[in-house]
Structure formats: C-alpha cells, structure tokens
C-alpha cells in the first residue's frame, strides 16, 4: 500500500460499449473475461435452474425420470448447454489461475498458450457433454 | 487523501485487512469445489449401471453411521456460496461506482446466496 497516494493515476471511465466490443483482447484476456462471465452465469442459474434440477434428480425415481422429459425442451437444452460450458470454462480457467498463483507458466508465451488450452479444452468438453445431452449415445 | 492521513511519509491508512482473507478464501474454496467435483465425477464413473439409486447414493452414503455424503455436499456448498460472494462482490466493486447502488446489489447478492444455501440444505437433508 506504500506510495498509493503519491501521484494521481490517469482514469479512463468513459469507455463506450462499441469501444469495448472492438477491443482485440489477447487470449489470456478473453479467458479472463469469460471466467467472469461464466461465474456470473453460474451465480444467476444456481437457485433458478441448478438447484431445482438437483432436487428433481435426488427426490424420487419418478422425479429423476422426469428430467428426461424436462430436458427435451430445446430452450432448456440450450440453457443447460450454457451452464455446462460455464461450469467447464470456470473450472479449467480456475485451475489455470491456481497454477499461475504458484508462479508456474508466468511468462508471456506460456500464459498465452495455457489460455488457449483452457478455451479449447472447455469447449471440447462442452461438445462431449452436449452430445450426451442431445442424446448422441 | 491529504498528507495528514498518512503514517510517516509513505504509508496511507485506508483499511484493515486489504482483502488478504478474501484472496485466500477464494482459492481455498476453489480447491474444495474442484476436489468435490472430481469425487462426484469418479463416483459417477465407477457406479455400475448409473440410475436413480446410484446417483442418490453419492449424496446419502454413510460411513460408521455418519451421514458423510450429506456432510461433504453441505461443506462443498458452503464453499460455493462463499466463493460466489467474493466473485460477485468483485464484479460490483469493479463496475458499479455509485456507493448506494453497489450496497443495494451486495445486499441482494447475500440474500440470493443465503437463499440458495437454505434451499440446497432443505433438498439435501430431507433425503
């Protein structure tokens, strides 16, 4: 906290939404903002979707079986897919942060690579779980 | 901050804990959730013929008479709530500059998460 008041830092608070959208973030930046977005998504869905679904899955054999019918609605399938991606991305990106906290892979090149791996692995796993969800097997 | 609020020539007094507890809690709760995720995942994988009974058993199994499945799930869910509180609070602190609105959203966040904890506990402990 030393020197925090020594000189006024420039502040940029009037950035508009089109400017934000035209930013070309590096891979690590994309992983970072998606970590935040997926966390917010999981927070919102927790009592609205995830817990009701959990209740159905453990209450009785009938409610367990009713999930199948419940999840056949295309809109709900899409919501579930978003939650699955959110969980997987947050999980993978979180593990990357824990590794970075141990000062492993801190240099620019490896950080960029691991960010790419996180984006790729979470998307690939989402495809796997998505195929399962949409009944590929 | 004016010069009178500093200690010595450099140090500025602005608070007590500087977020250290939150920083550590965010990581400890993350590890607890990651481990519990893997426990559930491998429990799921190694249950032959996964069905309602097998799935429910992951949350209700007992060990020497103790409700270990329910206890693990409850502890993991406390981690979820604490982790989500720190994360969502950080989002409000970054983007909401009006102190009144930020306080309002933080209160809503706490109510949302406490509600989720109670809802989860009710589902889990009525099994």
- Mean pLDDT value of segment A82-88: 97
Say whether residue A9 is in contact with chain B using an 8 A CB cutoff.
Answer: no
> How far apart (Å, rounded) are the C-alpha atoms in residues B108 and B112?
6
Q: Is residue A5 part of a domain?
A: no
Residue with the bigger pLDDT between A69 and B115: it is B115
Instruction: List b or e across A55-94, with b for residues whose CB sees 16 or more CB atoms inside 10 angstroms.
Output: bbbbbeeeebeeeeeebeeeeebebbbbbbbbbbbbbbbb
Q: Is residue A53 part of a domain?
A: no
- Mean pLDDT value of segment A38-45: 98
pLDDT at A71: 84
Give the B window 55-114 contacts with A, CB below 8 Å. Answer: 55-56, 59-60, 80, 84, 87-88, 91, 97, 112
Residue B48: half-sphere exposure toward Cβ, Cα within 13 Å: 0
> Which residue among B12, B34, B55 sits closest to A1, beta carbon to beta carbon?
B12
pLDDT greater than 80 at residue B126: yes
Percent of all residues in chain A with a pLDDT value above 70, rounded to a whole number: 92
pLDDT greater than 80 at residue A6: no
- Mean pLDDT value of segment B68-74: 97
Q: Is residue A92 part of a domain?
A: yes
- CA B35 to chain CA centroid, nearest Å: 14
Structural domain including A115 reads 35-43+72-133
Q: Is residue A104 part of a domain?
A: yes
How many residues are listed for chain A in this entry?
A: 137
Domain count of the fold of chain A: 1
Phi, psi of B63 (to 5 degrees): -140, 125
Say whether residue A33 is in contact with chain B using an 8 A CB cutoff.
Answer: no
Give the A window 108-137 contacts with B, CB below 8 Å. Answer: none
> How far apart (Å, rounded) are the C-alpha atoms in residues B106 and A41?
17
Give the pair of three-digit tokens for residue B90: 């950080």
Its CATH class, for the domain covering B27-125, is mainly alpha
Q: How far apart are the first and last CA of chain B?
A: 56
pLDDT digits (tens, 9 = 90+) for B10-21: 766 666 677 889
Alpha carbon of B51: minimum distance to chain A alpha carbons (Å)? 9
Average pLDDT, chain A: 90
At residue B1 the predicted structure's pLDDT band, cuts being 50, 70 and 90, is very low
Q: Quick check: pTM over 0.80?
A: yes
At residue A104 the predicted structure's pLDDT band, cuts being 50, 70 and 90, is very high
Taking CB atoms and an 8 Å limit, are A51 and B56 in contact across chains?
no
Average pLDDT, chain B: 91
């Amino acid at each position: 906290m030393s020197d925090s008041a020594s000189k006024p830092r420039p502040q940029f608070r009037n950035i508009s939404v089109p400017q934000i959208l035209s930013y070309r973030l590096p891979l690590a930046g994309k992983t970072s903002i998606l970590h935040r977005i997926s966390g917010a998504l999981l927070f919102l869905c927790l009592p609205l979707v995830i817990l009701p679904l959990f209740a159905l899955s453990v209450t009785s054999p009938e409610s367990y079986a009713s999930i199948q019918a419940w999840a056949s609605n295309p809109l709900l399938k899409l919501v579930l897919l978003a939650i699955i991606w959110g969980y997987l991305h947050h999980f993978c990106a979180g593990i990357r942060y824990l590794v970075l906290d141990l000062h492993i892979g801190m240099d620019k090149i490896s950080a960029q690579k691991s960010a790419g791996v996180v984006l790729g692995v979470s998307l690939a796993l989402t495809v796997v779980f998505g195929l399962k969800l949409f009944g590929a097997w | 901050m004016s010069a009178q609020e500093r200690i010595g020539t450099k140090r500025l007094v602005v608070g007590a804990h500087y977020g250290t507890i939150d920083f550590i809690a965010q990581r400890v709760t993350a590890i607890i959730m990651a481990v519990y995720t893997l426990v559930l995942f491998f429990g799921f994988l190694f249950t032959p013929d996964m069905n309602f009974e097998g799935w429910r058993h992951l949350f209700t199994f007992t060990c020497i008479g103790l409700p270990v499945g329910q206890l693990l799930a409850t502890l993991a869910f406390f981690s979820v709530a604490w982790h989500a509180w720190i994360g969502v609070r950080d989002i409000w602190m970054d983007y909401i500059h009006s102190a009144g609105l930020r306080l309002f959203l933080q209160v809503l966040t706490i109510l949302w998460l406490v509600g989720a904890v109670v809802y989860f506990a009710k589902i889990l402990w009525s099994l």
